[in-house]
Amino acid sequence: MPQNTPRGYSYPLYTDAHDFPAQMQDFATDVDTDVQNQVNTLADALAQPAARVTASAAQVVAANTDVTLTWALEVTDNANLFTLVAPTIFTVNELGLYLISVSGEWSGNADSTTSACGFRIQSSAGGVRARHEIRRGINSVPDTMATEVHVNTLHEITVVGETISVIARHNLPVASQVTEREFTITKISVDN
Using CB under 8 A as the criterion, which residues of the chain lie in contact with another protein when the complex forms? Answer: 20-22, 24-25, 27-29, 31-33, 35-36, 38-39, 42-43, 45-52, 75-76, 78, 99, 101, 103-105, 134-138, 141, 144-150, 152, 180, 182, 184-188
- Cβ pair 188, 100 in contact under 8 A: no
How far, in Å, CA of 48 to CA of 56, rounded?
27
How far, in Å, CA of 82 to CA of 90, rounded?
5
- Cβ at position 20, least distance to another protein in Å: 6
- Cβ at position 165, least distance to another protein in Å: 17
- Cβ at position 190, least distance to another protein in Å: 14
Residue of 188, 186, 176, 187 whose CA lies nearest to 69: 176
What is the distance of C-alpha 66 from the center of its chain? 21
Nearer to another protein, 3 or 11 (CB): 11
Nearer to another protein, 49 or 67 (CB): 49
Nearer to another protein, 3 or 25 (CB): 25
- Cβ at position 182, least distance to another protein in Å: 6
How far, in Å, CA of 116 to CA of 131, rounded?
13
Instruction: Count the alpha carbons within 13 Å of 56 in the hemisphere toward its beta carbon.
Output: 2
Nearer to another protein, 14 or 20 (CB): 20
- Cβ at position 82, least distance to another protein in Å: 12
How far, in Å, CA of 142 to CA of 107, rounded?
12
* Burial call 121-138: b when 16+ CB within 10 Å, e when fewer: bbbeeeeebbeebbebbe
Nearer to another protein, 146 or 175 (CB): 146
